[in-house]
Structure 1
Amino acid sequence: MSGPEVITLGCRLNAAESAAMRSLARGQDDLVIVNSCAVTNEAVRQTRQAIRKARRARPDARILVTGCAAQVEPEAFAAMPEVNGVLGNREKLDISAFLSDERVRVSDIMAVRETAPHLVTGFSERARAFVEVQNGCDHRCTFCIIPYGRGNSRSVPAGLVIERIRALVGEGFAEIVLTGVDVTSYGPDLPGAPTLGQLVERILKHVPDLPRLRLSSLDCIELDERLFEIAAYEPRFMPHLHMSFQAGDDMILKRMKRRHSRAQAIETVARLKAARPGIAIGADLIAGFPTETEAMHENSLRLIDECDIVMAHVFPYSPKRGTPAARMPQLPPSTVKRRAGALRAASARRRRRWLEAMVGTRQRVLVERQGRGHAENFAPVQPTAGEAGQIVEVSITGLENDVLIGARA
């Protein structure tokens, strides 16, 4: 081994930071870093499980735990006998932290005002690179503990983002994904308060050799007009957006302290699809939020068809200690599980129809690992030829296990 083992749980931003940590701790072969997630109780449980499994597999290794769960509950992880040290989200990108013998190094994340621009990249098979442009969140959704793990919103200056992307394109990366905790809140903390749309516009202008640009997720209420125009009409901006909808009922959205309404979600997607009919929509949805009635659940179910959601990430609600929603009247776990299953089934049906409609078409596919890749709309494709990092023209001939089957055109 030439560096630490890094075990990643949770979001794309964690994946990007895991790659940065692997690079920072190069040469520390005895080190295992567990990059944790706190978005749900299940994510925290999986983190503990991963720590125990890592200790069984490598009894002599040093195990450091970092990430959002470690930031929010450092003492709980420090108390685990398998753990040698706990690092906060600020400390995880400080090389000295990997060499320290301190049991707990977790600072006040709310005091952090900058995002380190030299550590903004994670990689996927030398084909796709994730570039962190923003970290933290200024909003306080009632179900979410993440702002207390990530701190307040802060942005990477556009010039540094462009410089990094230009270097990655020079290294052969064909696709860049802009990522962050609340990426659409990019800019107000920077001089001139640029918007995310202006950042994307500058990237496309100043890195003309970049073939494909993608966003990790969007809050539809913060989709500024410049970004809408780019998403609708710019061919190098991939026709795939993942929306942070969370629910399809106005009362539940209000109790979540979300800033958009059901109608705004539907209108945003309708506008995008009118301008760019082939755009694919993904969404985060929470099942069984406290006080949710069957009628409210049905509104979320209908949102899948009304917004043509073909990539749904469904989260069964579980109360997070320290969040307002944890103090609200809870639903029986069996109800939450049933509703999550219904949302997943509805999304799976929509996804299947979407994939079936692509059989017989031609798609431009970025080849990633083992000959598999993704089309511009992020449909998974198994092409029959192509090296990792290549963009190839593929004729879609069939569908197996929700993966499109293609032949090199």
Structure 2
Amino acid sequence: MQMTHTTCNPKKRAAVLTLGCKVNFYESEIMTEKLQADNWQIVSAKEHADLYVIHSCTVTAEAGRQTRQEVRRAARRNPDAFLVVAGCYAEMEHEVCEKMPEVSMVLSNRDKLFIAEKVKQSSSSIFRQQDPQQRWQADISNAPELISGYIDRTRAFVQVQQGCDQGCTFCIIHTARGPSRSYSQQHILLQISTLLQNGYKEIVICGIDLGSWGSDLVDASSGNPPNLFGLLKAMLAIPGEYRVRLSSIDPIHLDDELLDLIGADSRVCPHLHLSLQSANRLILKRMKRRYDPEFLYERVHTAQSKIPDLLLSADILVGFPTETVTQFEDTLRSIYDLGITYPHVFPYSERAGTPAARIPFQIPKQERKERVSLIKEAGDHVRQGVFLEKIGGVERILVERLDNSASKQYHGRADNYLPVYINNNVSDIGEFAHVRISNTSGKALIAQTLEQE
């Protein structure tokens, strides 16, 4: 690839822009701290910088479009900047990235965590197409250096696992990220302890397939693979006032042992974000998911019986090839049946190389959009009911920020993830506060601190 940009010079300004999942945010912080250690001044991606890193996502075609858009925006801010595209879109579409005239370097998922070293080379695009058998053989148990925290974030994401073995027919991420590999429990606990010592009150545990953590490890005492229950139990042995939230988890991993622990310890947030996708039997089978509707309903109802005040959010995929109106309605009905307060809904997006993209009967894109709207409407209906039930009650929130609007309200989230606006002065940002819910704006709960009653 022809290089037309300035070479990189230490002690200049660098910006890392993150698209996509919580794992990306954790990895972006690793890149940020490595650049800082190499004498780069970190600035916002909205500012003029000498180096821009676009940490990309490729879960949908829209995510790819956003990556290309952000590349062009960064180039407009500084046409002479050294511009790096890294992450899953770079992994899967490296040739597209290399052909963009604005791009100086393309980094694979394996190389991006060595960004400071790679940028110093800066003589050509260094994306390497590796042999599939050797591509992911690095020992992930020796995890990257610990991060100290996040810029402008009160919640700290901690990646515990990488990759996925599932191979869902619609998904490209298992190709972009490789097979499931677990970080060691020792590293994870050290990372969490570091973040707690640095003042973080919420730790969000994340992975590409979170519930598979430990499947590739061996417990020294038992000789068996450890699991997420054991990891969470070990986390909770760390003393302190904090809370732990699990990120997206497959229903297949919601075993009774894990649910009992979540329900028994108040430091574990009563919130599950389910990788649900569909609630129709045939569509789940064609997606190559690991459960059927009966299993899904049974696990959710069991979770609701074991975890007080449980709130559910979920990833939903609509318009999968061959999905009929009746099959879609099974998923729509599940929003009400299961009480999915926050459905994170996507229209199906053809990803080249996936089995689903080869299915002849593709749903028209307009129909996919309409189904997205119906799922969102169902979520709105469920959410308003939850909001009304909360009026008059007391919630513990983590204060996240001061709203910049004229109202100057503080914004936070309750343990179960509900958004809360506070009308009066509260504890410092990043601290817990107990509030009484007085109303709802339709999008969030309105509250006052108990001290002001």
TM-score (normalised: structure 1): 0.96
Match of 1:110 in 2: 136
- Alignment of 1:363 with 2:385, yes or no, is no
Which one is further off, 108-117 or 261-270? 108-117
Counterpart residue type for residue 77 of structure 1: C
Residue 98, structure 1, aligned to residue 137, structure 2: no
- Contact (CA 8 Å) 2:316, 2:343: kept in 1 or not? yes
Shift of 1:208: 1.8
Structure-1 residue corresponding to 2:443: 402
1:377 and 2:419 are equivalent in the alignment: no
Describe the SS at the equivalent of 1:270: helix
C-alpha separation in 2, matches of 1:210 and 1:186: 25
1:284 is displaced (CA, Å) by 0.4
Distance in 2 between residues matched to 1:11 and 1:157, nearest whole Å: 21
The superposition leaves residues 146-175 of structure 1 with CA deviations (integer Å, 9 ceiling, x where unpaired) of: 011111111111111111111211111111
Deviates more, 1:72-81 or 1:221-230: 221-230
8 Å CA contact retained: 1:120, 1:132: no
Measured against aligned partners, the alpha-carbon deviations of 1:68-98 in whole angstroms (never above 9, x if no partner) come to 0101111110110010000011111113123
Give the paired residue count.
408
Instruction: Return the alpha-carbon distance in structure 2 between the equivalents of residues 124 and 292 of structure 1.
Output: 42
Deviation, 1:232, is 2.2
Contact 1:124 1:368 in 2 (8 A): no
Where 2:346 maps in the other structure, the secondary structure is: strand
- Show the counterpart of 1:24: 34
2:70 to 50, 71, 86: 50
Deviation at 1:375, TM superposition (A): 0.3
Residue number among 59, 66, 74 corresponding to 2:94 in the alignment: 74
Q: Quick check: 1:347 aligned with 2:379? A: yes
Maintained 8 Å contact 2:270/2:308? no
The yes-or-no answer on 1:248 pairing with 2:279 is: yes
Correspondence for 2:175? 148
3-state secondary structure, aligned to 1:105: coil
Provide closer, same or farther for how the CA distance between residues 330 and 120 of structure 1 changes in structure 2, counting only shifts above 3 A: farther
1:133 correspondence with 2:160: yes
Distance in 2 of aligned mates of 1:377 and 1:137: 27
Distance 1:317 1:73 in 2: 19
Distance 1:218 1:387, change over 3 A: same
Contact (CA 8 Å) 2:384, 2:442: kept in 1 or not? Answer: no
> Within 2, Cα distance between the matches of 1:208 and 1:107?
45
Match of 1:33 in 2: 53
- Does 2:314 align with 1:283? yes
Matched, 1:176 2:203: yes
Q: Which amino acid aligns with 2:179?
A: N
Unaligned runs of 5+ in 2: 1-10, 42-49, 220-224, 403-409
Q: Closer, same or farther in 2 for the Cα pair 1:132/1:304, shift >3 Å?
A: same
Question: Structure 1: how far apart are the matches of 2:128 and 2:411?
Answer: 40
Identity of aligned residues (%): 39
> What SS class does the counterpart of residue 313 from structure 2 fall into?
strand
- Once residues 283 and 124 of structure 1 are traced to their aligned partners in structure 2, the CA distance between those partners, rounded to angstroms, is 27
- Structure 1 residues 107 and 189 mapped into 2: Cα distance closer, same or farther (>3 Å)? farther
1:229 match: secondary structure: helix
> Aligned with 1:98: secondary structure?
helix
- 8 A contact 1:63–1:84 mirrored in 2: yes
CA distance in 2, matches of 1:46, 1:314: 17
Q: Is the 8 A contact 1:312 1:344 kept in 2?
A: yes
User: Does the CA-based 8 Å contact 1:367-1:390 persist in structure 2?
Assistant: yes
Q: CA deviation at 1:187?
A: 0.2
Equivalent of 2:369, from 337, 359, 363? 337
Q: Where do 4+ consecutive residues of structure 1 move more than 3 Å?
A: 106-113, 118-122
* Partner SS, residue 242 of structure 1: strand
Q: Which amino acid aligns with 1:86?
A: V
Is 1:89–1:106's contact at 8 Å kept on the other side of the alignment? no
Task: Encode CA deviations 1:171-211: one digit per residue, 9 max, x unaligned.
Answer: 11111111110010000211221001100001101x12152
Asked if 1:185 corresponds to 2:212, the answer is yes
Question: Deviations 1:326-364 (Å, cap 9, x if unpaired)?
Answer: 001201111111111111111111112112221211110
CA contact (8 A) 1:316 1:340 kept: yes
Identify unmatched segments of 5+ residues in structure 1: none
